[in-house]
């Protein structure tokens, strides 16, 4: 009995997704705003860590207060993988838009609640316990937030502009830091240190409520991403039961089939976020506690650095659409290995201008990672498991990155060596370099399991021709391999007397 070969229909212009530009802009705005709110909280927490240490851990020494406050910051990272598992499965089953609406509600409420917690002097041990519970709720929601937002933007973006569009996601992160830092400086300068420690530190956390309402409105108004909707339509066409009861894929199965992509994801996330937390969460405390700058001066320097990062961020995303993502991962990693110690020499120079230069160099190297991460990660997994695979691997990796402020603060405190942050960055940069060398280039290619996506009809024609050219090249390569195998086969046959 002769088996019939399954034939695939030729690709036509109608198979290429044309992205609506207005919907794309709304998607980016909604995703970036939610990400900004997430990092607004992280920024505020890092900038007021010294105040939180005194409010919630008043009996400890200043150094221990700082470590305790930063440890409370790091603890939520332990539950982020659980959030990743929960929201990842929901995102692959019910869609990206619905999950992102849920995560922004949880983030806004938990951040707002931090501002309501009484001090240790008022309720004793319950104060740090309630702070930890609020941070754990944040960690659970954030477990699905960044991954979902990155996927949302990637699935809405044309193939040739995915780097530029994805860069706006971390633009939102940096903008959230700038807003958080600016609010802290403004409130501190208006009310003075005494009133800021008494109650002024609560105000930045209350701002999360209006930000959350705006973000929820924007996300709720959006349609599902084209890639996920096409996936759903295909499932409905092939198997109507599958759309209501999609097959469950365990993380073990994902790891067995996509282990290379998972390792690349882990390497990029660790390299990016360790540098991120080092520069934007730990450095304000390092400048004030270890280098004895006033809190306001240290924060102002970091604000200026972050404003500079806002200009660099989209430029790197745009450039990556032309030269690829790999050069930035490799270049940023090499830069950290070579320049981490020189940068901290400048930071420890006690000269404001040199401190600024040292931080600025680290910030540009950080931009090399953040400018491309959101466009790289979603491209590594197919549509049906993209949210689950990315959310779980991202949040497992973030366990390492999230410990950065606490680990580095402890290393500096226990060794007395002010260059420990530089050594820490160098070790992480090696991970980034190895990842960059082994990762596959994703620029200007369709997402895995999705058809090509274009900005307009003209670009769709160009993409279709490129697809045809790639198919022709692959066929030629396969024919060459077949010819080579035929020659090898004939050589072996010639050596055997009974084969012809």
The CATH number assigned to the domain holding 122 equals 1.20.1250.20
C-alpha–C-alpha distance, residues 476 and 487, integer Å: 17
Q: Do 425 and 492 belong to one domain?
A: no
The torsion defined by the Cα of 269, 272, 273 and 274, in degrees rounded to 10, comes to: 110
* Cα–Cα distance measured from residue 172 to residue 317, given in angstroms and rounded to the nearest whole number: 14
Report how far residue 257's alpha carbon sits from residue 144's, in angstroms, rounded to the nearest whole number.
22
If asked whether residues 174 and 61 sit together in one domain, one would say yes
Q: Is residue 483 part of a domain?
A: yes
Residue 199 sits in the same domain as residue 298? yes
**Confidence at residue 311, expressed as pLDDT on a 0 to 100 scale:** 92
Looking at residue 245, the DSSP 8-state letter turns out to be S
Round to whole Å and give the CA distance between 258 and 410.
36
Which H/E stretch holds residue 433? helix 420-438
Contact call for residues 17 and 454 (beta carbons, < 8 A): yes
Buried b (16+ CB within 10 A) or exposed e, 151-181: bbbbbbbbbbbbbbbbbbbbbbbbbbbbbbb
Tokens for 376?
């790289």
* Residue 241 covered by a domain: no
One domain, residues 480 and 334:
no
Number of Cβ atoms within 10 Å of the Cβ of 25:
13
What does the radius of gyration of the chain's CA atoms come to, in whole angstroms? 25
258 phi and psi angles, rounded to 5 deg = -125, 35
Q: What is the pLDDT of residue 5?
A: 54
Provide the 3-class DSSP secondary structure of residue 426: helix
In a domain, 240, yes or no: no
Which DSSP string corresponds to 73-91? Answer: HHGGGGTHHHHHHHHHHHH
Looking at the fold, whether 462 and 451 belong to one and the same domain comes out as no
What pLDDT score does 272 carry? 93
In a shared domain, residues 363 and 487: no
Question: What does the block give as tokens for 363?
Answer: 């910030």
Note whether 158 and 166 are within 8 A (CB): no
**Within this chain, do residues 405 and 353 fall inside the same structural domain, yes or no?**
yes
Examine the domain organization and report whether 58 and 142 are in the same domain.
yes
Pairwise CA distance, residues 471 & 309, whole Å: 40
353 in the same domain as 478: no
Distance CA 285, CA 49 (A): 7
| Cα angle value 172/88/158 (rounded, 5°) | 55
Q: Are residues 348 and 462 in the same domain?
A: no
Is the distance from CB of 366 to CB of 429 less than 8 angstroms?
no
Asked whether residue 1 is assigned to any structural domain, the reply reads: no
- 140 within a domain of the structure (yes/no): yes
Q: What is the mean pLDDT of each run of 10 residues along the chain (500 residues)?
A: 57 79 85 80 71 72 66 74 84 83 86 85 82 85 85 89 92 85 83 81 85 80 75 62 56 81 92 89 80 72 87 95 95 96 92 90 95 93 86 84 84 90 95 94 86 83 84 90 89 80
Tokens of residue 172, six digits: 């939102």
The whole-angstrom separation of Cα 120 and Cα 155 is 46
Phi, psi (deg, nearest 5) at residue 43: -65, -50
Alpha helices by DSSP H, 95-125 = 96-114, 120-123
Burial class (CB in 10 A: 0-12, 13-18, 19+), 3: exposed
Do 80 and 402 contact (CB within 8 A), yes or no?
yes
Residue 303 region by backbone torsions, left for phi larger than 0, else alpha for psi between -120 and 50, else beta: alpha
Q: Does some domain include residue 249?
A: no
**Dihedral angle of Cα 156, 158, 163, 164, to the nearest 10 degrees:** -90
The DSSP H or E segment spanning 254 is helix 251-277
Residues in the chain: 500
User: Containing domain of residue 472, as a range?
Assistant: 458-500
Structure tokens at 311: 């200009």
The structural domain count of the chain equals 2
Is 364 within 8 Å of 331 (Cβ atoms)? no
Q: Where are the alpha helices (DSSP H) in 278-419?
A: 283-285, 295-323, 326-347, 352-376, 386-402, 404-415
What does the alpha-carbon distance between residue 226 and residue 206 come to, in Å, rounded to a whole number? 35
Query: In this structure, are 89 and 219 located in the same domain?
Result: yes
User: Residue 453's beta-bridge partner residues?
Assistant: 17
Residue 331: closest CA among 286, 364, 307, 308: 364
DSSP, residue by residue, 187-233: HHHHHHHHHHHHTGGGHHHHTHHHHHHHHHHHHHTSPPPHHHHHHHH
10 in any annotated domain:
no
Q: Coil, strand, or helix at residue 418?
A: coil
Please answer whether residues 333 and 436 qualify as being in contact, where contact means their C-beta atoms are separated by less than 8 angstroms: yes
CA–CA dist 349, 327 (Å, integer): 32
Question: What per-residue confidence (pLDDT) applies to 241?
Answer: 52
Same domain, 480 and 422: no
Please say whether the beta carbons of 64 and 121 come within 8 A. no
Residue 6: inside a domain, yes or no?
Answer: no
């Amino acid at each position: 009995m002769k088996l019939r070969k399954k034939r695939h229909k030729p690709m036509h212009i109608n198979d290429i997704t044309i992205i609506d530009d207005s919907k794309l802009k709304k998607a980016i705005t909604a995703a970036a705003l939610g990400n900004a709110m997430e990092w607004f909280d992280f920024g505020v927490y890092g900038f007021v860590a010294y105040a939180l240490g005194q409010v919630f851990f008043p009996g400890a020494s200043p150094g221990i207060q700082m470590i305790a406050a930063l440890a409370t910051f790091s603890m939520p990272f332990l539950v982020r993988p659980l959030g990743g598992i929960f929201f990842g499965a929901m995102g692959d089953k019910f869609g990206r838009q619905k999950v992102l609406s849920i995560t922004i509600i949880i983030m806004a409420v938990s951040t707002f609640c931090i501002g309501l917690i009484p001090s240790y002097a008022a309720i004793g041990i319950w104060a740090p316990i309630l702070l930890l519970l609020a941070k754990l709720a944040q960690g659970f929601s954030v477990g699905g937030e960044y991954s979902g937002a990155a996927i949302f933007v990637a699935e809405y973006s044309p193939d040739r502009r995915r780097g530029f569009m994805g860069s706006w996601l971390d633009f939102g992160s940096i903008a959230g830091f700038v807003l958080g830092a600016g609010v802290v400086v403004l409130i501190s300068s208006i009310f003075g240190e005494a009133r800021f420690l008494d109650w002024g530190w609560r105000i930045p956390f209350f701002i999360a409520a209006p930000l959350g309402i705006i973000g929820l409105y924007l996300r709720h108004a959006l349609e599902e991403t084209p890639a996920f909707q096409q996936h759903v339509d295909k499932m409905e066409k092939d198997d109507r039961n599958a759309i209501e009861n999609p097959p469950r894929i365990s993380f073990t199965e994902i790891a067995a089939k996509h282990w290379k992509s998972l390792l690349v994801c882990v390497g990029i996330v660790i390299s990016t976020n360790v540098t991120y937390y080092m520069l934007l969460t730990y450095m304000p405390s390092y400048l004030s506690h270890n280098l004895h700058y006033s809190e306001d001066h240290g924060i102002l320097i970091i604000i200026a650095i972050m404003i500079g990062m806002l200009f660099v961020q989209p430029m790197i995303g745009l450039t990556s659409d032309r030269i690829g993502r790999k050069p930035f991962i490799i270049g940023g990693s090499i830069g950290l290995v070579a320049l981490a110690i020189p940068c901290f020499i400048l930071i420890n120079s006690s000269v404001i201008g040199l401190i600024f230069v040292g931080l600025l160099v680290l910030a540009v190297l950080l931009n090399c990672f953040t400018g491309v991460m959101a466009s790289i990660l979603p491209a590594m997994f197919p549509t049906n498991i993209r949210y689950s695979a990315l959310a779980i691997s991202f949040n497992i990796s973030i366990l390492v990155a999230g410990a950065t402020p606490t680990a580095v603060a402890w290393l500096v405190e226990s060794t007395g060596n002010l260059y420990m942050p530089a050594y820490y960055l160098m070790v992480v940069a090696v991970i980034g370099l190895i990842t960059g060398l082994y990762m596959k280039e994703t620029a200007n290619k369709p997402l895995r399991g999705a058809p090509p996506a274009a900005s307009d009809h003209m670009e769709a024609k160009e993409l279709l021709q490129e697809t045809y050219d790639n198919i022709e090249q692959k066929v030629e390569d396969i024919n060459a391999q077949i010819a080579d195998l035929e020659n090898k086969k004939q050589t072996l046959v010639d050596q055997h007397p009974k084969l012809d």
